[in-house]
């Protein structure tokens, strides 16, 4: 198959606002439509290899969780229909339905979360998250007045992107250094961050710098909110930073090219559930301990 | 149910109907009395007057005293909602002596009862005055009339300092003999040994030197010999550890089922359950049942009662034996391999793992991990008086795992070099608390202080519906003589019974809060400690 066609960036190019996981699923769905295989087993094999190919390009947690969800959903469907062509048709229909549902998930999260932002609030956020942006857009649309502090979030300075988007909404925004988080936390009322993955314990995996923000906000007794769609729930259970698998900590190119990983900087970190106040998902507003409950429902 | 003695007195129907009617009147009177109490804030005088009237009524009822009477008394006594401490203690107390000593004259009995009621009345103002400390002392009957109608009874094994409860237990054990046999073959009631520390005076404390089997007459046709042997093994500590105890229990029950013969005119499904009840009481007297054993017994009873009545005896017996085999295989053996699979993912090369005591499951995990060529070393923490860590050490060293052995007092010294702590569990409670060997919560606490992850490994059949937040309410007291140790020919604590202010406390279990536990590995996967009720819910749906 043609690798370029199945590059998630082609999907993202069409809509830059799409979550990387959604792009991955869309790619997989396209792949499914074009598959010429004759047997179910062959179909499953090729889908697995496609997922590996995707994670090879973009090794983020969200993509891997999306791939796993899609595979699981496929194997469930294959149990019901024995005839391959009928099976594929059902899969495609359900895939489209699934995509529609998850593209609505951001709107649902925004609807739940914006009520927690009070008028006059000072918000601290980390790096560039499209979900957080959506939430703040909704809050601004509801005529709430708030100001935002964004961390610069090196090494890719994604925070600047966030600040630019917020300025377009006429929201007063200040960009702070990553090192200044501890000093800024006492000025803010709440902290809202996105997540790349939500793990079984109720903790989150997010851009590096999230963990220290969580620790500082806990020390100052500030509310720490996480906004994430439900397809980001993943069946990992890290015990500490070291326990997060290397394939998530470093970019795919880094994993391929570097000699020794100890010289590389990890791009994500793990925030344990004890530091998180609430998680806003399209399944509802959850406490960290309820995440395991939802995961059991999703996967068992 | 076979428990009630009402079947014995079936002939005296008129007596029973009369007593039942009296019972209804009693309850109405009681309800009225309670209302008065609530309004007028417990006028003791009124109660005393009414109690005299009630007592005299009951004395009249007790005059034709047969075995059925106290039992029938208990039926209506149990049904009126709030019988609590107010007037019912006189009733069973009054009921019990006639059953035990029928030789005493009625006048003597009346005098006894009067004396007892005076004592109750005397203690009652004290009780009413401070219901707070009384309730914390573990007597749920103390706050009497304020309780709502549905009072959840505490099990008898946490009410050892309440004499009425002990009397009830004695009566229950007596009644659990096959009807028609002599009274000599009842299940004996084990008596407590030595001075009990006051905080734990509501629990049993037995001596290992006086096993229950010494009080049994030979031959004991009530209790199957395999059960007698099992009870002795439990009480002497030969079979220890929750998995070992459950498996031994299930094997013993298999033997019992093999030797079982349905008596004529009885149905297997009902009769076998009744046969098992005295065995379970006996085992409970030898050593209190663990949560895992409780779940296993519940399962067996359910399977037995689900046997269709038209099933032939041989078929039913083989079916039950297969059920037991399957339970052992699925819930214990296969669960252990599933848990090892998940746990080995969490063991990385270069790890230093801390284990406490001897948990068969944790040992199994570590042995499997070393077979899969993970490079790690183990620190075994041990504690007196059981010194179970030595057994774990022996097993691990035999597999070629490099181990270090310390006592629990050296814990904070070794923890800085530990990367993970693996703990076994005796039971997982519904609020996420972990009940395990005493010392476990100490290990979890210190590990948390050092930021070392704590992993608890537990099969799902050990999950129980109980809720407990402290280690006092429900625990087990082991033989206090175990704490005596002879060093250089001198035993310092030899004469501890003679010293009046000295108490020896040998606790067996303690309870760890879920904040100290990072991960629970079960056969269903890795879950946080707070998700135990979810698993219980899923399990109930499955069944």
Task: Write out pLDDT tens, residues B463-514.
Answer: 988 899 999 988 999 888 889 888 898 888 888 888 888 889 999 999 999 9
Chain A residues closer than 8 Å to B455 by CB: 239
Identify all chain A residues contacting B452, using CB atoms and an 8 Å cutoff.
Answer: none
The number of residues in chain A equals 300
Q: Residue for token digits 């509501």?
A: B202
The 10s digit of each residue's pLDDT in B119-128 is 777 665 544 4
CB contact (8 A) between residue B528 and residue A289 = yes
Alpha-carbon gap, residue B364 to B366, rounded angstroms: 6
Task: Please list every residue in chain B whose beta carbon sits closer than 8 Å to the beta carbon of residue A287.
Answer: none
Residue range A3-30, pLDDT digits in tens: 545 565 666 666 667 777 778 888 888 8
Average pLDDT over residues A236-244: 90
What's the per-residue H, E or C state across B304-315?
HHCCCCCCCHHH
The answer to whether the CB of A73 falls within 8 A of the CB of A98 is: yes
Task: Report how far apart, in Å, the C-alpha atoms of A160 and of each of A1, A177, A226, B258 are.
Answer: 38, 11, 20, 77
- Interchain CB distance below 8 Å, B453 and A239: yes
Question: Tokens 């979550």 — which residue?
Answer: A19
Question: In this structure, are residues B383 and B406 in contact, taking their beta carbons and an 8 Å threshold?
Answer: no
For residues B187 and B173, give the distance between their C-alpha atoms in angstroms, rounded to a whole number: 6
Cα B37 to the chain's mean position, in Å? Answer: 36
* Tokens 């020390």, residue located: A219
Q: What is the pLDDT of residue B172?
A: 78
Measure in Å the smallest separation between the Cα of A295 and chain B Cα atoms. Answer: 10
Which pLDDT score is estimated for A13? 61
**DSSP label of B192:** P
Chain A contact for B534, CB < 8 A? yes
Choice among A207-211, A265-269, B136-140, B437-441 with the minimum mean pLDDT: B136-140
- Two tokens at A171? 């929201």
* Residue A187 pLDDT class (50, 70, 90 cuts): very high
β-strands A204-207, B490-491: how paired? unpaired
Residue numbers of B between 512 and 531 with CB closer than 8 Å to A: 515, 518-519, 524, 526-528, 530-531
pLDDT tens track, chain B, 543 positions = 444 444 444 455 555 555 555 545 556 666 777 777 777 765 666 556 665 655 555 555 544 444 444 444 444 443 444 433 344 344 444 444 444 444 556 777 777 777 777 777 766 554 444 433 433 333 434 344 444 456 666 777 777 778 888 788 778 777 765 444 444 456 677 778 888 888 888 888 888 887 777 777 666 667 888 999 999 999 888 998 899 999 999 999 999 999 988 888 888 888 888 889 889 988 988 888 888 899 999 999 999 988 888 888 889 899 999 999 999 999 999 999 999 999 999 999 999 999 999 999 999 999 999 999 999 999 999 998 999 999 999 999 999 999 999 999 999 999 999 999 999 999 999 999 999 999 999 999 999 999 999 999 999 999 988 899 999 988 999 888 889 888 898 888 888 888 888 889 999 999 999 999 999 999 988 999 888 888 888 777 766
Please answer whether residues B332 and B243 qualify as being in contact, where contact means their C-beta atoms are separated by less than 8 angstroms: yes
Could you give phi then psi for residue B224, rounded to 5 degrees?
Answer: -60, 140
**Radius of gyration (Cα) for chain B, nearest Å?**
26
Q: Residue B525 burial (CB < 10 Å; 0-12/13-18/19+)?
A: buried
What distances in angstroms separate CA B261 from CA B3, B252, B266, B322, one per listed residue? 21, 16, 10, 18
Q: What is the C-alpha separation between B505 and B480, in angstroms, rounded?
A: 6
* Total beta-carbon pairs less than 8 A apart between chain A and chain B: 36
Element (H, E) at A265: none
Residue B464: alpha-carbon gap to chain centroid: 13
Q: Strands of B351-356's sheet, edge to edge?
A: B403-407, B376-382, B351-356, B420-424, B454-457, B519-522, B525-527
Chain A environment of B513 (Cβ under 8 Å)? none
CA atoms within 13 Å, Cβ hemisphere of B50: 19
Given a contact cutoff of 8 angstroms between Cβ atoms, the answer to whether B470 and B439 are in contact is no
Place of tokens 């202010």: B501
Residue B207 to residue B495: CA distance in whole angstroms: 16
Task: Give the phi and the psi of residue B264 in degrees, each rounded to 5.
Answer: -65, 150
Judge whether A219 and A191 are in contact, CB under 8 Å.
no
Give how far A22 is from chain B: nearest CA, Å: 27
Residue the block writes with tokens 């809720």: B467
Q: Please report the beta strands in B312-384, taking only residues with DSSP state E, as ranges in sequence order.
A: 351-356, 376-382
How far is residue B535's CA from residue B527's CA, in Å, rounded to a whole number? 9
Segment (H or E) for A127: none
Measured between CA atoms, how close is A187 to chain B, in angstroms?
29
Contact predicate A268/A205, CB 8 Å: yes
Helix (H) or strand (E) holding B519: strand B519-522
Using CA coordinates, name the residue in chain A closest to B453. A239
Contact B538 A293 (CB under 8 A): no
Inter-chain touch B531–A240, beta carbons under 8 Å = no
Q: Which residues pair with A121 in a beta bridge?
A: A146
d(CA A136, CA A128): 12
Residues of B in contact with A238 (CB under 8 A): none
Cα separation, A175 vs B413, in Å, equals 45
Q: What is the ipTM of this complex?
A: 0.81
Q: Which two tokens stand for residue A96?
A: 């489209």
Alpha-carbon distance of B522 to B320, in angstroms, equals 27
- Give the gap in angstroms from C-alpha B465 to the nearest C-alpha of chain A: 18
B453 interfaces chain A, CB cutoff of 8 Å? yes
What's B499's DSSP letter? Answer: -
- The answer to whether B455 faces chain A, any CB pair under 8 Å, is yes
b/e map A262-284, b = 16+ CB within 10 Å? eebebbbbbbbbebbbbbbbbbe
For residue A48 the two structure tokens come to 């697995």
> For residue B388, is the peptide bond before it cis, meaning its omega torsion is within 30 degrees of 0?
no
- Nearest CB to A292 within list B346, B518, B528: B528
Cβ of A292 and B531 within 8 Å?
Answer: yes
Q: How many Å apart are CA B300 and CA B320, to the nearest integer?
A: 8
Q: Greatest CA span in chain A, whole angstroms?
A: 63
Determine the pLDDT at residue A262: 76
Dist CA B406 CA B397 (whole Å): 15
3-class secondary structure for B8-47?
HHHHCHHHHHHHHHHHHHHHHHHHHHHHHHHHHCCCHHHH
Q: Which are the contacts of A182, defined by CB distance < 8 A and separation ≥ 6?
A: A212, A216
Q: What is the per-residue pLDDT for A50?
A: 82
Query: What is the chain A residue with the closest CA to B346?
Result: A243
Q: What's the CA gap between A221 and A172, in Å, rounded?
A: 24
For A228, phi then psi, to 5°, come to: -155, 145
Which residues lie across from B406 on neighbouring strands?
B381
Predicted confidence at residue A136, as pLDDT, reads 95
Rounded to the nearest angstrom, the minimum Cα separation between A236 and chain B is 9
B153 vs A152, more confident: A152
Closest residue of chain B to A296, computed from CA coordinates: B534
| Secondary structure class of B370 (helix, strand, coil) | helix
B110: contact with A, CB 8 A cutoff: no
């Amino acid at each position: 198959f043609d690798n370029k066609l199945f590059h998630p960036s082609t999907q993202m190019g069409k809509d830059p606002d799409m979550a990387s996981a959604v792009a991955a699923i869309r790619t997989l769905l396209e792949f499914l439509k074009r598959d010429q295989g004759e047997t179910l087993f062959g179909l499953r094999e090729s889908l697995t290899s496609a997922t590996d190919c995707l994670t090879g390009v973009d090794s983020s947690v969200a993509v891997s969780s999306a791939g796993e969800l899609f595979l699981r959903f496929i194997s469930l469907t294959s149990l019901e229909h024995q005839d391959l062509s009928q099976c594929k048709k059902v899969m495609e229909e359900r895939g489209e339905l699934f995509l529609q549902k998850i593209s609505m998930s951001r709107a649902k999260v925004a609807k739940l979360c914006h009520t927690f932002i009070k008028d006059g609030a000072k918000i601290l956020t980390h790096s560039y998250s499209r979900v957080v942006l959506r939430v703040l857009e909704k809050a601004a649309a509801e005529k709430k007045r708030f100001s935002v502090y964004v961390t610069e979030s090196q090494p890719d300075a994604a925070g600047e992107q966030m600040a630019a988007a917020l300025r377009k909404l006429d929201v007063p925004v200040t960009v702070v250094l990553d090192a200044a988080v501890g000093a800024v936390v006492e000025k803010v009322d709440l902290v809202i961050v996105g997540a790349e993955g939500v793990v079984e314990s109720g903790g989150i995996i997010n851009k590096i710098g999230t963990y220290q923000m969580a620790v500082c906000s806990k020390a100052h007794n500030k509310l720490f909110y996480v906004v994430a769609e439900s397809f980001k729930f993943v069946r990992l259970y890290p015990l500490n930073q070291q326990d997060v698998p290397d394939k998530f900590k470093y970019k795919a190119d880094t994993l391929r090219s570097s000699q020794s990983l100890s010289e590389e900087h990890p791009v994500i970190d793990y925030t344990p559930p004890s530091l998180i106040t609430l998680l806003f998902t399209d399944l509802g507003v959850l406490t960290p301990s309820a995440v395991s409950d939802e995961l059991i429902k999703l996967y068992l | 149910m076979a428990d009630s003695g009402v079947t014995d007195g079936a002939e005296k129907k008129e007596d029973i109907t009369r007593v039942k009617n009296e019972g209804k009147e009693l309850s109405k009177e009681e309800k009225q009395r309670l209302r008065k109490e609530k309004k007028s804030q417990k006028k003791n005088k009124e109660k005393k007057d009414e109690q005299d009237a009630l007592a005299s009524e009951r004395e009249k009822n007790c005059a034709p005293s047969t075995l059925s009477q106290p039992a029938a008394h208990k039926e209506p006594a149990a049904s009126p909602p709030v019988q609590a401490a107010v007037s019912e203690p006189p009733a069973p107390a009054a009921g019990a002596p006639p059953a035990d000593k029928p030789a005493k004259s009625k006048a003597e009995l009346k005098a006894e009862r009067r004396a007892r009621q005076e004592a109750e009345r005397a203690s009652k103002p004290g009780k009413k005055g401070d219901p707070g400390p009384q309730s914390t002392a573990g007597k749920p009957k103390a706050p009497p009339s304020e309780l709502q109608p549905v009072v959840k009874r505490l099990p008898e094994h946490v009410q050892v300092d309440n004499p009425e409860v002990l009397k009830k237990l004695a009566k229950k054990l007596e009644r659990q003999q096959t009807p028609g046999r002599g009274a000599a073959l009842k299940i004996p009631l084990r008596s407590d040994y030595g001075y009990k520390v006051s905080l734990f005076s509501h629990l049993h404390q037995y001596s290992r030197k006086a096993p229950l089997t010494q009080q049994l007459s030979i031959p004991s046709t009530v209790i199957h010999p395999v059960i007698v042997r099992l009870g002795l093994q439990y009480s002497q500590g030969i079979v220890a550890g929750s998995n070992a105890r459950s498996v031994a229990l299930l094997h013993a029950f298999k033997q019992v089922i093999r030797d079982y013969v349905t008596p004529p005119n009885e149905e297997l499904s009902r009769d076998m359950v009744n046969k098992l009840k005295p065995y379970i009481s006996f085992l409970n007297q030898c050593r209190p049942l663990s949560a895992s054993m409780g779940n296993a017994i519940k399962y067996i009873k359910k399977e037995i009662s689900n046997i269709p009545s038209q099933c032939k005896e041989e078929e039913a017996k083989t079916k039950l034996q297969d059920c037991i085999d399957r339970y052992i295989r699925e819930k214990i053996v296969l669960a252990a391999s599933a848990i090892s699979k998940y746990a080995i993912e969490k063991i990385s090369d270069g790890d230093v793992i801390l284990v406490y005591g001897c948990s068969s499951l944790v040992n199994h995990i570590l042995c499997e991990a070393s077979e899969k060529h993970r490079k790690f070393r183990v620190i075994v923490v041990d504690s007196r008086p059981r010194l179970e860590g030595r057994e774990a050490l022996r097993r691990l060293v035999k597999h070629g795992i490099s181990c270090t052995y310390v006592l629990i007092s050296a814990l904070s010294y070794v923890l800085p070099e530990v990367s993970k702590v693996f703990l076994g569990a005796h039971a997982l409670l519904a609020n996420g608390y972990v009940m395990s060997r005493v010392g476990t919560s100490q290990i979890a606490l210190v590990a948390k202080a050092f930021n070392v992850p704590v992993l608890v490994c537990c099969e799902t059949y050990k999950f129980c519906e109980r809720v407990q937040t402290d280690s006092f309410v429900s625990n087990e007291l082991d033989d206090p003589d175990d704490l005596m140790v002879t060093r250089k020919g001198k035993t310092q604590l030899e004469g501890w019974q003679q010293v009046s202010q000295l108490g020896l406390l040998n606790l067996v279990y303690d309870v760890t809060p879920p904040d100290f536990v990072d991960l629970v590995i079960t056969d269903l996967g890795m879950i946080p400690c707070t998700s135990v009720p979810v698993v219980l819910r899923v399990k109930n749906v499955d069944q």
